[in-house]
Every structure is written in C-alpha cells, then in structure tokens.
Amino acid sequence: MKKLLIVCAGGATSSMMAQRVVQEAEKEGMKAKLLFPEDLKYDRVKAHEDKDLVVVMGPIDMITTLRLQGFSRVDAVLVSPQVKYLFKNAEKVLQQLEIPCENIDSLSFGRMRGDLILKQGLALMND
C-alpha cells in the first residue's frame, strides 16, 4: 500500500483534489481510499492494507507544527499551490522524517487534474 498526503491551507481544496486522485486511481484499476488526518493520527490506515493507494488530505500545519511525527507514516507529500510559500518549512520537517515532497503544479491543481496529480504522487513515491 502506498500512502500519499495532499496538503493545502485548511483542508478543503486538498479534499477535493484527493477525491479526484482517488477517482483516477480507481479508473486505472487500483484499489484506492480517501482518508483524513485523524485516520493517520489514530493509525486507522492499517484497516485499508488491501488498498493499492491511500490518499490523505489535510492542512499543511499538520506538517509544519511537527504533528506528523506522531502519525502513521506516509510515503510522499504533495503541497498545493495556495501554500507554496510554506513549502520550505514543510520540506525541512519531511526531510528529517525521510519523506519526499513536491509542490503541485498550479495549473494542474486549478483544473483539478487528478490524473496528473496521481502521476506526480506515484512518481514521487517511486523515486
């Protein structure tokens, strides 16, 4: 199971994007599930071990405030354009945890291109 975290300012737009990514993964024949920050915190991810991909959405402060350290491990993090200015802070924390991260392309995010974001996330997890 691969676990991808998509973060934005408050969690609303990352939720929409995460839903699109899950839909695209399912179109490609993957078993996928959308989860929330609480699912990472309380380690509810284990209940979805039969899935190929778990996409978690949430606010970027779950990374920058170091809360992610106590959560279930994710394989990669994608940062939405509206919080691009916080990327360096998130990257520092994630490097300590050895979790790769990237910014999401603004155009792909704005157009809600779940297919492109899925490809980006999978590539990041496979590097």
What CATH number corresponds to the domain at position 15?
3.40.50.2300
How many folded domains does the chain comprise? 1
pLDDT values of the chain reduced to their tens digit, one per residue, 127 residues: 999 999 999 878 888 999 999 999 999 999 999 999 888 888 888 899 999 999 999 899 888 766 676 677 899 999 999 999 999 999 998 998 899 999 999 999 999 999 999 999 999 999 7
Q: Give dist(CA 53, CA 69) in Å, integer.
A: 21
Which residue segment(s) compose the domain that 88 sits in? Answer: 2-125
2, 22, 59, 107 from 94: Cα distances, Å: 17, 23, 15, 24
Task: Give yes or no for a contact between 83 and 7, defined as CB atoms under 8 angstroms apart.
Answer: yes
pTM of the model: 0.93
